[in-house]
Structures are given as C-alpha cells and as structure tokens.
Amino acid sequence: YSKYPTSIAALSFSRDGRLLAVASSYTFEEGEKPHEPDAVFVRSVKKR
C-alpha cells in the first residue's frame, strides 16, 4: 500500500474480513507542529 500522510492511529477489519479501515492521525510523536488532517482510508483485502 502507499504511505499515509501521518501516523497510523488505528486499524479495523470489517466483519467479513474483506475491508480494512486505516485511521491516519498525527499523534504528536514529534511535538506540536503543523500536520495533515486526520483521515480514514478503507482498503479492500484480497484473499490469497
């Protein structure tokens, strides 16, 4: 997958395991500074 604009704050799979929600949020690991807005990305997960 491509990189996300800020840290990954949380992950969650859908009930059927086909989708993965990725929460991207600056968690102040580098202190107070300008950052990208929080966002949620939903990815399709392929079976092997």
Long-range contacts of the stretch 31-40 (C-beta < 8 A, 24+): 35/6, 36/5, 36/6, 38/6, 38/9, 39/4, 39/5
**pLDDT for the residue 29:** 82
For the chain (length 48 residues), average pLDDT per consecutive 10? 84 96 90 90 87
**Inter-residue contact 22 to 39 (CB < 8 Å):** no
pLDDT (0 to 100) of residue 28: 86
Residue 48's pLDDT is: 67
What DSSP designation does 15 have? T
The pTM assigned to this predicted structure is 0.76
Burial class (CB in 10 A: 0-12, 13-18, 19+), 41: middle
pLDDT attached to residue 2: 63
Please tell me whether residue 9 adopts helix, strand or coil conformation. strand
